[in-house]
Amino acid sequence: MIWWPTEIPTLHHGLTTLRPLQASDIPLIYEALQDPLIPLFTTIPAGYTLANAEHFVNERSPISFMDRKEIAFAIVHDGTFAGVISHHSINHSDHVAEIGYWMASHMRGKGIGTTAAKLITEYGFTTMGFRRIEGIVDVENGPSRALLISAGYELEAIMRKKVTRIDGRQVDMALFAKVI
């Protein structure tokens, strides 16, 4: 059985903190998601609006948490907002979750995402009781693939034509997983 917290905790390692999302993150999320690279490799739509960020922080994330579907954290490094990371697509009976994340462009390539992935993965295994955590990334997203490998995930498969992008292209996705 998966243990579900009554509130989203704050997790720390060195200068990196995972904490609950808060209203002050809304303009930072909006600003970061203007980066055209993020919608290219994620399900976040291009043309992300301030209203989208408000909905995510004030409604979607809290409802998903209360429904035990997702636990999302703000990634903060040395006091600076760096991105968002979550466990989602949770299968309680199979003890499986998927890790998802994005990083603000100015915070990439510094190891912050890897630290955040290690923190949330450890929390998922030791506190929540997951036995498998998956990461599914576009095969062309080399930095995201490297992040998962650095965080201890192993490549299990290439899923051909797994996702349809907004322009209609079918893209292959790499399935990574970490198990205990």
| Beta bridge partner(s), residue 163 | 171
Q: Are 88 and 136 in contact (CB under 8 A)?
A: no
Residues 55-59 have a mean pLDDT of: 98
Enumerate residues 6+ apart whose C-beta is below 8 A from 40.
none
The answer to the question of residue 168 being in a domain is no
The answer to the question of residue 137 being in a domain is no
| Neighbour count for residue 71 (Cβ, 10 Å) | 24
pLDDT in tens, 66-90: 999 999 999 999 999 999 999 999 9
The answer to the question of residue 60 being in a domain is yes
Residues 13-38 have a mean pLDDT of: 97
What are the distances in angstroms from CA 88 to CA 24, 46, 64, 133, 175? 23, 21, 9, 10, 15
pLDDT in tens, 108-128: 999 999 999 999 999 999 999
| Neighbour count for residue 126 (Cβ, 10 Å) | 10
Provide the domain limits for residue 98: 11-129
Domain with residue 54: its CATH number is 3.40.630.30
**pLDDT computed for residue 1 by the predictor:** 85
The answer to the question of residue 159 being in a domain is no
**pLDDT computed for residue 167 by the predictor:** 80
Residue 31 pLDDT class (50, 70, 90 cuts): very high
| Neighbour count for residue 79 (Cβ, 10 Å) | 7
The answer to the question of residue 83 being in a domain is yes
The answer to the question of residue 145 being in a domain is no
Average pLDDT, the chain: 97
* Beta pairing, strands 71-77 & 80-91: antiparallel
From CA 76, how far away is CA 125, in angstroms rounded?
Answer: 22
| Displacement of CA 24 from its chain's centroid (Å) | 19
The answer to the question of residue 158 being in a domain is no
The answer to the question of residue 66 being in a domain is yes
Q: How many distinct structural domains can be found in the chain?
A: 1
Q: Is the pLDDT of residue 43 over 90?
A: no
Q: Are 86 and 70 in contact (CB under 8 A)?
A: yes
